[in-house]
Amino acid sequence: MRALNRKLLRDLWRIKTQVLAIAVVVGCGVAIIVMALGTMRSLEETRATYYERYRFADVFAHVKRAPEYLAERIAGIPGVKWAETRVVADVILDVPGMAEPATGRLVSIPEHRRPALNDLTLRRGRLLAPDRPDEVLVDETFAEAHGFRPGDHFFAMINDKKRKLLIVGVALSPEYIYSVGPGVLVPDKRRFGVMWISREALASAFDLEGAFNDISLSLLPSASRPEIIERLDVLLDPYGNTGAYDRDDQVSHAYLSGEMDQLVATATVAPPIFLGVAAFLLHIVVTRLVATEREQIGLLKSFGYGNAAVGWHYLKVVLFVAGLGVVLGFAGGAYLGRLITELYTDLFRLPFLHYRLSLDVFALAALVTLAAAVLGTLNAVWRAVRLPPAEAMVPAPPAVYRRTAVERLEPRGLVGQPTRMILRHIVRWPLRAAMTTLGISLGVAVLVSTLFFFDAIEHLIQTYFHHAQRQDVTVTFTEPSVERVVYEVGRLPGVLAVEPYRAVAVRLRHGPRSERAGISGLEPDAALRRVLDTRLRQAAIPPDGIVLSTKLAELLAAAPGDVLTVEVLEGRRPVRQVPVASLVEEYIGTPAYMDRHALNRLMREGPVVSGAYLQIDGRQEEALYRELKDTPVVAGVALQTVALRTFRETMAETMDIMISFYVMFGGLIALGVMYNSARIALSEHGRELATLRVLGFTRFEALYILLGELGVLTLLALPLGCLIGYGIAWFFAWSFDTDLFRIPMFIERATYGAAVLVVLVAGAASALIVRRRVDRLNLVAVLKTRE
């Protein structure tokens, strides 16, 4: 047996480049499993522990003002474990050293105990001292962005009064793992911060003494969420309830879940591609090995090696290559996992997050890989097992070829013999040709479907920032205000144009379905904040009826013409029937739109507005910001250019690295398939080629015959790969489709071009490597031996 193992090692060494190429493809698949599932697991476990230890709530609700005694009745709902009331308010901040206004979310904490739900992790400094209404804890992201340390201060516009707040500590909360401001797409560390302040101080500032405007519940494990939410809504509705929701609708939780879903989607789509391609490559290599070693197999068998021993021998080849790939994949996956976890620790604020190398993920990856490899090569190994010893020692008869169908149409003489050879090789092994084509096309597909994200994000930016939301600044008022306020805002320094809007929280019902949503009432002739139809043209907002985003329509199963029940969750809480006028395409959230005047009518209110969109003169922005920070009616200021910048930065941070890896992986698949195909072709046709060289064919002519087949298959693979890539991109877009955001199904032509180019470069590289071998063909040796 030891001699046989030595033969094994020598065989492997002889085809070492092929072994490495296959192992790398295996490695990519394994790395993705280890990275995606490992990171997913780390995130999941960390989050679960964090939630449990810091008592993250199960159900959330916001009201305008509810009496404190209601809390006891809420806690009495069967299934509720604990109810914690709070005062929460978004305010404008004036941070020293920053021109733009920031938004602060002030969250109350009890003065004499730890919060019973959504508890804080103190990272630095100390907790609030009793009877110190000016002390706050700030969240770590915001503190880091501004370099805050305990002892620093900033200003907040609290209920019309500018107040100085003193930072005593830096904290984290399970409620704000992903901390994103209102109306913003991605976290802006500088411009949105959560701060915790004493309940008494906040209540007195907002006239909420003996009352609350926010409540969180924890539930017993057996509790039915929908039932509790319904009963909670009934209790809160008289107090300006905007609709209770559970964790699935809690922004931070939902984003984190979305991220995990994406990891799972990645782990579902990518590894099968890589492992499938690797299995195919192993199959052709082992088939070839068995074919060239027929005589040796016969010899072994005639000397008494059993069929099992021979089978095991070739299986060891498979296991070695796959095993090497698994080892490479473990290393690569651990590296990628560490990398992505670092990204996550920046994006998600967790008190601890370690990429843990969990044994079962490794075991799973190894098992799946080895199984795929063995399954893929079973047929080839079986061929070695089945070979009768006598027959094995006679060289294989020349392969039987036939004319191709194409040739029957071809008038003789149009196609030269070399081209004819190429066509017949393809037809002789149609399955292999098809698999090779598929393999190369999967390389293209991986590239297309990952580069797609750049296009999709760019498309999203174009529509969202450049076509739909053309305002520079969005101002939110503390209360619905009379139109006159808008004109006052219009007179602030640097304001070029102003457009008011009305925003109302509602519950929409259609048949048995219902969704919480916000209706934006826009000016019918809006030029800044526009609504786009499914073809990205400005859609008119009809004087009556409601315009739904396609996602919201899907959730409600509503189509234009259907009538919705609109239950307003604020003001006098009217309930109205409103027809769906049309649908618009939106990639972010699930918005709904109405004519502002129609919305005012629906609300049975006068011409009031919730805020305004501004177009400003960039040269005067500092002056404008200064004014806005001190304007009492302003509750929030969103800056579009800053939003776009942070959006781009966040996307660059999170996507660029991963996508570069996938681009590399796609190239490696293509390289692996093409290099192996070229090597197999050389091994099969080496003798023919040497003969042709002896007969006076030039190196180039020989290379043409050798690589022509691969060239033809590559040409077939390119369009197929683009098609498959589109399909995978579509799957990604579909699987990332959530209420929070959707990925536009949009691929630039240049992306297909780039994918094709990468694959062609990989092909050229394979051709160059093989060319060196053609140059070195030993002409004389070939003539001496029988195959």
Partner 1 sequence: MASAGLSQDRSANERPRGPQGTASGPGRPERRRAFVARGLTKVYGKGEVAVHALRGVDLELFAGELAVLLGPSGSGKSTLVNIMGGLDVPTAGQVFFHDLELTAFDERALTAYRRENVGFVFQFYNLVPSLTARENVALITDIARNPLAPEEALGLVGLAERLDHFPAELSGGEQQRVAVARAIAKKPEVLLCDEPTGALDSKTGVLVLEAIERVNRELGTTTAMITHNAAIAEMADRVISLADGRIAGVRENATKRPARELAW
Q: Considering the rule CB under 8 A, would residue 701 count as an interface residue with partner 1?
A: yes
DSSP 8-state class, residue 540: P
Provide the minimum distance between the beta carbon of 787 and partner 1 in the complex, in angstroms, as a whole number.
8
Tell me how crowded residue 701 is: count the other CB atoms within 10 A of its CB. Answer: 15
Q: Nearer Cβ to partner 1, position 316 or 424?
A: 424
- Residue 783 makes contact with partner 1 by CB under 8 A: yes
Asked if residue 64 lies in contact with residue 378, where contact means CB atoms within 8 angstroms, the answer is: no
Beta bridge partners of 66: 212
Give the shortest CB-717-to-partner 1 separation in angstroms: 22
Q: Is 695 in the site for partner 1 (CB under 8 A)?
A: yes
Nearer to partner 1, 149 or 403 (CB): 403
Residue 409 binding partner 1, by CB under 8 A:
no
430 is a site residue for partner 1 (CB under 8 A): no
Question: From the list 79, 418, 579, 711, which residue makes contact with partner 1 (rule: CB under 8 A)?
Answer: 418
Per-residue burial over 475-497, b if 16 or more Cβ lie within 10 Å, else e, is bbbbebbeeebbeebeebebbee
Shortest Å distance, C-beta 394 to partner 1: 13
Nearer to partner 1, 99 or 399 (CB): 399
DSSP 588: B
Distance CA 57, CA 83 (A): 9
Collapsing DSSP to helix, strand or coil, 77 comes out as coil
Alpha-carbon gap, residue 292 to 7, rounded angstroms: 14
CA angle 210, 211, 216 (to 5 degrees): 130
Count of residues near partner 1 by CB under 8 A: 34
Q: Which is nearer to partner 1, 715 or 779 (CB)?
A: 779
Among 189-197, 321-329, 766-774, 778-786, the segment contacting partner 1 (CB under 8 A) = 778-786
DSSP letter, residue 119? P
Strand partners, 124: 170
Give min distance, CB of 398 to partner 1, in A. Answer: 4
Nearer to partner 1, 48 or 399 (CB): 399
Q: How far is the CB of 421 from partner 1 (least distance, A)?
A: 5
Q: Which of 181, 172, 92, 166 is nearest to 132 (CA)?
A: 166
Q: How far is the CB of 293 from partner 1 (least distance, A)?
A: 19
Nearer to partner 1, 41 or 685 (CB): 685
Nearest distance from C-beta of residue 775 to partner 1, angstroms? 9
Q: Does 421 bind partner 1 (CB under 8 A)?
A: yes
776 sits near partner 1 (criterion: CB under 8 A)? no
Interaction pattern, residues 362-401, with partner 1; x per rule: CB under 8 A: -----------------------------------xxxxx
Contact between 772 and partner 1 by CB under 8 A: the answer reads no
With respect to partner 1, which residue has the nearer C-beta, 720 or 782?
A: 782
Give the binding range for partner 1 (CB under 8 A) out of 69-77, 610-618, 654-662, 774-782.
774-782
Q: Would you say 166 or 779 has its CB closer to partner 1?
A: 779
Pattern 671-690, binding to partner 1, x per CB under 8 A? ----------------xx--
Query: Measured between alpha carbons, how far is 644 from 650 in angstroms, rounded to an integer?
Result: 10
Indicate the residue among 152 and 701 with the shorter CB distance to partner 1.
701
Please give the single-letter amino acid code of residue 605: E
Among 132, 163, 424, 576, binds partner 1 (CB under 8 A): 424
714-717 long-range CB contacts below 8 Å, 24 or more apart?
714/440, 714/674, 714/759, 714/760, 714/763, 716/437, 716/441, 717/436, 717/437, 717/438, 717/439, 717/440, 717/441, 717/443, 717/444, 717/759
Q: How far is the CB of 785 from partner 1 (least distance, A)?
A: 8
Judged by phi (left if over 0) then psi (alpha if -120 to 50, else beta), residue 482 lies in: beta
- Contact criterion met (CB below 8 Å) for 551 and 739: yes
Q: Figure out which of the listed residues 312, 697, 726, 746 binds partner 1, where binding follows CB under 8 A.
A: 697
| Strand pairing category for 211-219 and 102-109 | unpaired
Residue 331 Cα to chain centre, angstroms = 23
Nearer to partner 1, 118 or 287 (CB): 287
Q: Which residue, 304 or 398, is less far from partner 1 as judged by CB?
A: 398
Burial 184-205 (b: 16+ CB within 10 A, else e): bbbbbbbbbbbbbbbbbbbbeb
Cα-based distances in Å from 653 to 256, 619, 658, 672, 759: 17, 30, 9, 30, 26
112, 113, 402, 491: which one binds partner 1 (CB under 8 A): 402
780 contacts partner 1 (rule: CB under 8 A) = yes
Name the residues that contact partner 1, by CB under 8 A.
397-402, 416-418, 420-421, 424-425, 428, 687-688, 691-699, 701, 779-780, 782-787
